[in-house]
Amino acid sequence: MDPKGKVAIVTGASSGIGLATAKLLSAKGAELVLVARSKDKLDKLAAELPNSVAVAADMTKILDVENMVNAAKDHFGQVDILVNCAGQGYDVPVADTDIDVFHHIFDLDVVGPVVAMKQVIPIMRKQGAGSIVNVSSGTALMYLPNNGIYGGLKRTLAHISLTANVELKKDKIAVSVVYPYITDTPFDDNTIKAPTVTWAGEGGGPPFPPDTAEYAAGKIVDAIESGEPEVFAHDWMKNPRRSET
Ligand SMILES: NC(=O)c1ccc[n+]([C@@H]2O[C@H](COP(=O)([O-])OP(=O)(O)OC[C@H]3O[C@@H](n4cnc5c(N)ncnc54)[C@H](OP(=O)(O)O)[C@@H]3O)[C@@H](O)[C@H]2O)c1
């Protein structure tokens, strides 16, 4: 879908990849619904980007997600694009998983995006077209120590996306999943880390330098424009080394 003149909801628009995606979509002529919890940051961004509106929502709260889509529909009269980018990491060995944190990350990284999809799909069906992009993670494609919970939930999100892609073809709604590689954003600072975690990494660190948020945003916009079911930050991620052993 060409973003020009389209209404796009971008969650996680206050920081990192979501922020860069909102800016890139705006530069391509989209009208934007900017979503996150930090209303002050969103208001500043809305003042910068023409035809945009800030909507504060906690994506772990079903009512907030429903209100977000209603606010978009009320303001612009349509919703053409949904980018589910809000998310948070959880670094923990499986054996040490805190079940309350697990539930929180599940609510944010999986349930929130699904609730948002459920809200926009009827609108897109009526309009006869739509584009939904779910932001997963390269960790969903590998078995990295301490990433079982986060990577597993991002893999769940990818599976749901790929299934919805098949289900919604007949409605001309393209559903895509994007797998970013390590990206230079505040993500790691915001990741919840179990006290037992000490990052060793593969061979002492990640195999390649991090991408920029703008690079990852470019992949999200590629997904919107192409409607491809899966978009990888890098080709090698299509066939990654799946574990450290
Ligand atoms: N950076 C990486 O290395 C990397 C790699 C692979 C995948 N990803 C994925 O890319 C996406 C964006 O991450 P990022 O790197 O841009 O991280 P980030 O800079 O930490 O941004 C996270 C965004 O999510 C929002 N958010 C967090 N909790 C929320 C909640 N409960 N309700 C609503 N919004 C919430 C934050 O806004 P507020 O705090 O204002 O609510 C912020 O806008 C995430 O889904 C992440 O899993 C990141």
Residues 37-68: tens digit of each pLDDT: 999 999 999 999 999 999 999 999 999 999 99
Stronger pLDDT, 196 or 105, i.e. the higher one: 105
Cβ contacts of 165 within 8 Å, gap of 6 or more: 174, 175, 176, 229
Query: Separation of 229 CA from ligand 1 center, angstroms?
Result: 21
The mean pLDDT of the chain is 95
pTM, to two decimals: 0.97
Distances (CA, A) of 155 to 74, 75, 136: 33, 33, 7
Catalytic center residues: 150
Is the pLDDT confidence value at 205 over 90? no
Q: pLDDT tens digit string along 208-227?
A: 999 999 999 999 999 999 99
Q: With H, G, I as helix, E, B as strand and everything else as coil, classify residue 59.
A: coil
What's the pLDDT at 240? 77
Per-residue pLDDT at 207: 78
pLDDT for the residue numbered 245: 44
Domains of the chain: residue spans and CATH:
7-237 (3.40.50.720)
Q: What percent of the chain has pLDDT over 70?
A: 96
Q: Are 89 and 188 in contact (CB under 8 A)?
A: yes
Residue 230 is predicted with a pLDDT of 98
Mean pLDDT of 138-154: 97
Rounded CA separation 219/92 (Å): 28
Centroid of ligand 1 to alpha carbon of 170 (angstroms): 31
187, 193, 234: residue to mutate for ligand 1 pocket, most atoms within 8 A of CB: 187
Q: Judge whether residue 201 has pLDDT over 90.
A: no
Q: If you measure from the C-alpha of residue 87 to the centroid of ligand 1, how many angstroms do you get, rounded to a whole number?
A: 4
Residue 135 C-alpha to ligand 1 middle, in angstroms?
Answer: 10
Closest ligand 1 atom to residue 58 Cα is 32
Q: Alpha helices of the chain — where are they, by DSSP H?
A: 16-27, 39-48, 62-76, 99-106, 112-127, 148-168, 187-190, 213-226
Which residue in 25, 24, 22 sits closest to 5, CA to CA? 25
Question: In the prediction, which pLDDT does 196 show?
Answer: 86
Report the atom number in ligand 1 closest to the C-alpha of 112. 32
Residues 6 or more apart whose Cβ sits within 8 Å of residue 193: 90, 91, 92
Report yes or no: 179 and 141 within 8 Å, Cβ to Cβ. yes
Task: Tell me what the mean pLDDT of segment 74-82 comes to.
Answer: 98
Is residue 200's pLDDT more than 60?
no
Pocket test for ligand 1, best of 10, 19, 21, 37 (most atoms within 8 A of CB): 37
Rounded percentage of the chain residues whose pLDDT exceeds 90:
92
